[in-house]
Structure 1
Amino acid sequence: MPRRTAAKLATVTAVLAATVLSVAPSAHADLVTYCIGTGGAVTVPNDLYVPAGESCALTGTTITGNVSVAAGGNLVVAGGHVSGEVRIAADGYLDATDTTIGGAVVLAAGGYGTFLKDAQTGAVVVRPKGSATIDSFLFVEASTIAGTVNTSAGEVRLDRGTQVEGNLVSAGTYYTDVHDSFVDGSLSVLNSATGSVVCGSAIRGQATFAGNLGGVQLGPNGVLDGCASGSYWGRDVSVTNTTGGVTVDDNIINGRLTVTSNNPAAQVAANNRIRGGVTADPAGATAKRTATAGPVREDTGDQRAEVRRTSAVQEATAAGDAGL
């Protein structure tokens, strides 16, 4: 798609803002600042808008309002601060590193993806794919989410010390994996196309896995991914109606483990410490720990993020100074 070769910055009145906000909602401010190109350590005193198909790359920028990324747009921000929320439209992309976002991050149906690293945000929402052709991704590394993560599409992975201060709710994703992270509330993974892996993490609330087609792996020595250790589970854990294999290995469960109606039957290793006992199907529910390592998932989401990030920064740099 065509790209502009010069920076464009427009501050519009409330009349034009109302038109823009019908596509890119904003909670406050009479003015909206357009961003095409690059920006530095300045303060944007209102909402920020990345137009459709354009790229904005910011370093050390403070935005006092909300942010909207229109269809096909890209926002890459490092060391920034957003007081409000960030909304990303279809085929839009958000890449935030070492950045604080005071409000929610919302990825629309068919949004390209969201990558957060060393970031702090409010609640995170990934809308269902619906009829969109793009399957989203949400990758979070070493970040704190002050609210619930509610995701209904694409590839989802929390990794490297990420903290979720609310619940993690996943339904209809391609996969939902949690590595070396902490969820202060409950964890629910339902109807995932290729299942779920949870390793080296702590889940404070109840955990429910149901209807997952590709299997569920809690701990190492499973068929989906390689990892070093199991997890701590603060309450009951339930894995039901799952195909593709269920393995529970090297976990501490401070509640009851339920593994029923899975095909094949779940394998629960002897090295788990389960305070409330196990409810399982009559045959084949308990197995000895095996020394086989499963295949590592392909990091397709990471690759997609890297490709989009690189392209966005190149396009923003070519557009020049956004004049913020």
Structure 2
Amino acid sequence: MPGRTVVKLATVSAFVAASVLAVAPTAHADLVTHCIGTGGAVTVPNDLLVPAGQSCALTGTTITGNVTVAAGGNLVVAGGRVSGEIRVAADGYLDATETTIDGQVVLAAGGYGVFLKDARSGNVTVRPKGSATIDSFLFVEESTIVGTVNAGAGEVRLDRGTQVERNVSSTGTYYTDVHDSFVDGTLSVLNSATGSVVCGSAVRGQATFAGNLGGVQLGPNGTLDSCASGGYWGRDVSITSTTGGVSVDDNIIDGQLTVTSNDPAAQVAANNRIRGGVTGDQAAATTNRAARTAAPDREDAGDQRAETRRTSAVQEATAAGDARL
């Protein structure tokens, strides 16, 4: 199992209290359903709000409007559908499994995190951390993003057959990793604190890695993470101004590989197939399995953080009581 964080989140079991609130005094007043606890296979004919500090768990629910998770709130959706967008405020959390989100998903600065599994959504955005003390995460497994992924903070991982139909762009994240996934546009990872790993994946467009402090690993036998294979790159790949090490192993690059201003110099294995050749400084690649084994294990820390949030959500929702949407 990969050493870097892989979120393992189960559906939160909670209880529900829900109410309908009329807002905006217009001729046809907009309605907002407030959800605290759990709801079933019903249709919410308007927008939905998870109030600040509350938890809401929905199974098979259809929401015809937009969803807002207020500050400190938790929303868990399984087998549902959201016709609009989902916006998650500071310290808020979204967990969507086997769910379709027609609109975008936006995690605000200081948002706790977003977990998508076997889901489908529009653009996904993680706002830069700013002055917030919480560092966000975005974990996506077996899902389709019909649009772009744009992350400005925290841990970012696309995994297990995830497809992004446009571009993936991250700036200033803790790390941005892509495992066993497909990006139909460009991939850009800039100024990541602990670098980037791409394994067993395909990127159709140009790929740019620059200013990453913890290294860049494309393919197996690097020091950041363990993986079985390299990937396919449809255009040029550029890795520049990187510290912590660069390794490129077992990749097919249908373009040029540029490796400049990296310290130490990039290791480019002989088993890569690079159509446009390599430019820049490079060192002989070596298999460094000992270093890979000793790489920092972020999985335990990530799971502990998710479990803490999950337990807290269950406790808060249980205390709220039970009602129907």
TM-score past 0.5 threshold: yes
Q: How many angstroms does 1:241 deviate by?
A: 0.2
Q: How many angstroms does 1:289 deviate by?
A: 3.8
Q: Match of 2:92?
A: 92
Q: Match of 1:292?
A: 289
When structure 1 is superposed on structure 2, of 296-305 and 163-172 the one drifting more is 296-305
1:251 and 1:167 mapped to 2: Cα distance?
20
Q: Report Cα offsets for 1:154-186 as digits up to 9, x if no partner.
A: 000011010000100000000000000000000
Paired-residue identity, %: 79
Q: Report Cα offsets for 1:45-101 as digits up to 9, x if no partner.
A: 000000000000111111010000000000011111111000000000001111111
Q: Match of 2:145?
A: 145
Q: 1:16 to 1:115 in 2, by over 3 A?
A: farther
Q: Match of 1:195?
A: 195
Q: SS of the residue aligned with 2:30?
A: coil
Where do residues 274-313 of structure 1 align in structure 2 (5 Å cutoff)?
274-281=274-281, 285-292=282-289, 294=292, 295=295, 297-299=297-299, 300-313=301-314
Q: Report Cα offsets for 1:200-249 as digits up to 9, x if no partner.
A: 00000000000000000001111111111101000000000000000000
Selected match of 2:21 from 3, 8, 12: 12
2:35 and 2:105 mapped to 1: Cα distance?
19
Q: SS of the residue aligned with 2:317?
A: helix
Matched residue count: 307
Q: Match of 1:323?
A: 324
Q: How many angstroms does 1:265 deviate by?
A: 0.5
Q: Match of 2:31?
A: 31
Q: SS of the residue aligned with 2:21?
A: coil
Q: SS of the residue aligned with 2:198?
A: strand
Q: Match of 2:248?
A: 248
Structure 1: 5+ residue stretches without partners: 18-27
1:216 aligns with 2:192: no
1:130 and 1:38 mapped to 2: Cα distance?
33
TM-score by length of 1: 0.91
1:16 and 1:40 mapped to 2: Cα distance?
30
Q: How many angstroms does 1:308 deviate by?
A: 2.0
1:148 and 1:209 mapped to 2: Cα distance?
18
Contact 2:247 2:285 in 1 (8 A): no
Q: SS of the residue aligned with 1:11?
A: strand
Q: Match of 2:4?
A: none
Q: How many angstroms does 1:7 deviate by?
A: 4.7
Q: Match of 2:131?
A: 131
Q: SS of the residue aligned with 1:309?
A: helix
1:76 and 1:16 mapped to 2: Cα distance?
30
TM-score by length of 2: 0.90
Q: How many angstroms does 1:303 deviate by?
A: 3.6
1:265 and 1:16 mapped to 2: Cα distance?
64
1:136 and 1:77 mapped to 2: Cα distance?
19
Contact 1:269 1:286 in 2 (8 A): no
Contact 1:37 1:318 in 2 (8 A): no
Where do residues 20-59 of structure 1 align in structure 2 (5 Å cutoff)?
30-59=30-59
2:308 and 2:25 mapped to 1: Cα distance?
34
Q: 1:242 to 1:192 in 2, by over 3 A?
A: same
Q: Report Cα offsets for 1:19-59 as digits up to 9, x if no partner.
A: xxxxxxxxx97100000011001110000000000000111
Q: How many angstroms does 1:16 deviate by?
A: 7.5
2:89 and 2:25 mapped to 1: Cα distance?
19
1:9 and 1:16 mapped to 2: Cα distance?
21
Instruction: Report the AA paired with residue 208 of structure 1.
Output: T
Instruction: Report the AA paired with residue 273 of structure 2.
Output: R
Contact 2:22 2:29 in 1 (8 A): no
1:99 and 1:265 mapped to 2: Cα distance?
44
When structure 1 is superposed on structure 2, of 42-51 and 301-310 the one drifting more is 301-310
Contact 2:15 2:318 in 1 (8 A): no
Q: Match of 2:186?
A: 186
Where do residues 249-268 of structure 1 align in structure 2 (5 Å cutoff)?
249-268=249-268
RMSD across aligned positions (CA): 1.9
Contact 1:270 1:289 in 2 (8 A): no
Q: How many angstroms does 1:11 deviate by?
A: 1.6
1:288 and 1:245 mapped to 2: Cα distance?
11
When structure 1 is superposed on structure 2, of 312-321 and 137-146 the one drifting more is 312-321
Q: Report Cα offsets for 1:79-134 as digits up to 9, x if no partner.
A: 11111000000000001111111100000000000011111010000000000000
Q: Match of 1:22?
A: none
Q: Report Cα offsets for 1:275-310 as digits up to 9, x if no partner.
A: 0000012xxx14144252513641233442333234
Is the strand fraction higher in 1 or 2?
A: 2
